Structure 1
């Protein structure tokens, strides 16, 4: 499948529907207290860029966001692809765009939180050089969460 990935406004009905599907999917796997949803309104704030993957017909088939946290840290948020396009590298295209944007902006480290029942997501993140770590940002330690980080800067010698 060929997709086009571009930064777009999250304030579109089509994106609201994808976010609704993402939220329902996450709630089917984890308790509500372990789901850290970000609304489309939050994704529209200046510190966040939403990427949308569209198929040849122009239909949104996936989303992923980069939230700038300050101090050289960016967070990967709201990664989701429609079930019918999973395994067709849509998530890879989204993540590659997020990583490229973060690098171009001088972000030194990317972090993320994902669920404990998302092995496909783990494989995607690990294929792009993310490694597991302890809790990031202000997320609590939880048996429902798996955390990842990726350095985008050269290793510094102390």
Structure 2
């Protein structure tokens, strides 16, 4: 009986080790992209501290960095993967996440807001709001970062 318990424990430890290795390996490209984007942002946008990083996958992949510059101001940086053209905006020059959600709620009645994140397409920065409707259909609502205007909707997927 002790032999089976030992074999089971060894099997579980090996299985956990494999899952950890797969997870770490899967995250390596994201970490590499972040490191590269932060280096560009530090050089071209005076980025001093990173508070958030994510990739936006739309018409093209865009690195999005939120942080502070050397003056201590909150900034948002978009770096399209193909052109590497750095676009920097002061966070207070655009809508906040809460303001983007308010804009959605003025027009729609979502059952659940799944995520709200910054993105960019055709050099237009925006908030992408991913939400579920009453019948659990997937919807996307795009709000211009600076003007708060609705840009596009993708509904009932």
Question: TM-score, normalised on structure 2?
Answer: 0.28
More strand by share: 2
The structure with more radius of gyration:
2
